[in-house]
Amino acid sequence: MRIAIHAALILALTLLTQVGALIYAAALGTRRYAPFARTPAGFALLFVALYAASWWPIERIAAVSGRASLPCIERAGLSSSAFSCVLHRHYADARLVSIASRLANDMDRRFPGTITRTLDGSFPFIDGLPLPPHLSHDDGEKLDLAFYYRRNGEYRPGALASPIGYWRFEQPASGEAQPCGGASTGLRWNMAWFAPFTADDLELNAGRTRYALRWLASSGAQEGVGKVFVEPHLAQRLNVHGEVIRFQGCRAARHDDHIHVQLR
């Protein structure tokens, strides 16, 4: 039973964080030298300590392979979500990090006080390793951006509509495009069970989100953005057009809860 539990945890940490399984194995190998780690609580403390201590080396090694980390603490108007940072899902190709930084700077110039939040990018190492539950995000060339939100008509800097930044969908209104007819097929989950965990007092800040999408379709495209996934009804509502503005299809995850950006 103990072996099965360890194996299950190693598998889960591999799928969720890529590097967590190695750190867990290191904790298992060193706990004999740390008497306090012989209890479950002590072992958990040892794992957390090793996880934190590995942060800087992981960033440095990832940089050698061309992947940079998004800032976990707000810097120049840009900040990754806590969920993505804790699970080491906040890495991307250095070119894409530069584009996100330029977007954040331009957003702050246009709308002073704006914070641009990034969500999942990629794991720090190895192309081709999937980032569940995404179909792609396996090469550092894809990055998700959160929408901008307001509460009671006032912009809320850096607000996310759910604890993980995903699955609070902006539903199509009457008369707006619905290419999938509301069907939940493939990975196009409606995630109704997750609704209680979302912030129903936040509403989409249309002005900022429109500006960001138009920036990605113009300046972003000039700097290397090849595709921006957003649901057709939102593109219609926000009056956003461009060669890179795409619909991901009916069998992939919905994109009316976030913006997917990828390089050419």
Q: Give residue 213's pLDDT.
A: 98
* 189 is a domain residue: yes
* 134 and 12, same domain (yes or no): no
pLDDT computed for residue 145 by the predictor: 98
Phi-psi region of 181 (alpha: psi -120 to 50; beta: other; left: phi over 0): left
Task: Identify which has the larger pLDDT, 188 or 158.
Answer: 158
Give residue 241's pLDDT band: very low, low, confident or very high (50, 70, 90). Answer: very high
**What is the pLDDT at residue 65?**
83
172 shares its domain with 46: no
- Same-domain status, 91 and 205: yes
55, 40 Cβ separation under 8 angstroms: no
Q: What are the tens digits of pLDDT across the range 25-72? A: 999 999 888 889 889 999 999 999 999 999 999 999 999 988 999 999
Omega of the bond leading into 133 within 30 degrees of 0 (cis): yes
Query: Do both 85 and 15 map to the same domain?
Result: no
| 125, part of any domain | yes
Q: Does residue 188 lie within any of the structural domains?
A: yes
**Does the model's pTM come out above 0.75?**
yes
Evaluate whether 70 touches 171 at the Cβ level (below 8 Å): no
* Residue 46, domain extent: 2-53
Matching residue, tokens 């990828």: 262
CA-CA distance, 258 to 264, in Å (whole number)?
20
Q: Please check whether residues 86 and 217 belong to one and the same domain.
A: yes
Specify whether 13 is located in the same domain as 109: no
The reply to whether 138 and 245 lie within a common domain is yes
Is 183 or 172 the better-scoring residue by pLDDT?
Answer: 172
List the one residue out of 192, 181, 170, 191 whose CA is nearest residue 238. 170
For residue 12, being part of any structural domain is answered with: yes
Both 151 and 48 in a single domain?
A: no
Within 10 angstroms of residue 150's Cβ, the number of other Cβ atoms is: 16
Residue 61 falls inside a structural domain: no
